[in-house]
Amino acid sequence: MAALRVGLLGVGMMGRHHARVLGEVEGVELVAVADPGGDRFGVAGDLPILPDVDALIDAGIDIAVVAVPTGFHEEAALRLAAAGVHTLIEKPIAHSAEAGRRIVDAFADASLVGEVGHIERFNPALQELRRRLEAGELGAVYQIQTRRQGPFPARIADVGVAKDLASHDVDLTAWVAQSEYSSVFAQTAFKSGREYEDLIAITGQLESGIIVNHLVNWLNPLKERVTIVTGERGTFVADTGSGDLTFYANGTVATNEWDQVAAFRGVSEGDVTRYAFVKREPLRVEHEAFRDAVLGKSSDVVTLEQGLRTLEVVEAALGSAHKCEVARL
Say how far apart CA 299 and CA 223 lie, in whole Å.
31
| Short-list 318, 304, 314, CA closest to 166 | 314
Q: Is the dihedral of CA 112, 118, 123, 126 positive or negative?
A: negative
For the chain, domain boundaries: 4-118+284-300, 121-280+310-328
Express each pLDDT in 45-97 by its tens digit: 899 999 999 999 999 999 999 999 999 999 999 999 999 999 999 999 999 99
Q: Please state, in angstroms and rounded to a whole number, the distance separating the CA atoms of residues 122 and 289.
A: 9
Residues 33-47 pLDDT 10s: 999 989 988 888 899
Q: Is 275 left (phi over 0), alpha (psi -120 to 50) or beta?
A: beta
CATH architecture of 121-280+310-328: 2-Layer Sandwich (3.30)
Domain 4-118+284-300 identical in fold to domain 121-280+310-328: no
Q: b/e for 84-121, b at 16 or more Cβ within 10 A?
A: ebbbbbbbbbbbbbebbbbbbebbeeeebbbbbbbbbb
- Residue 144 vs residue 252, higher pLDDT: 144
Give the pLDDT score at 255: 47
Question: How far apart are alpha carbons 296 and 96 in whole angstroms?
Answer: 29
Could you give the percent of the chain with pLDDT greater than 70?
95
- CATH number, domain 4-118+284-300: 3.40.50.720
pLDDT at residue number 156: 74
User: pLDDT digits over 223-277, tens only?
Assistant: 999 999 999 999 999 999 999 999 999 987 654 555 555 455 567 789 999 999 9
Distance of alpha carbon 197 from alpha carbon 52, whole angstroms: 30
Q: Residue 286: how many CA atoms within 13 Å on its side-chain side?
A: 25
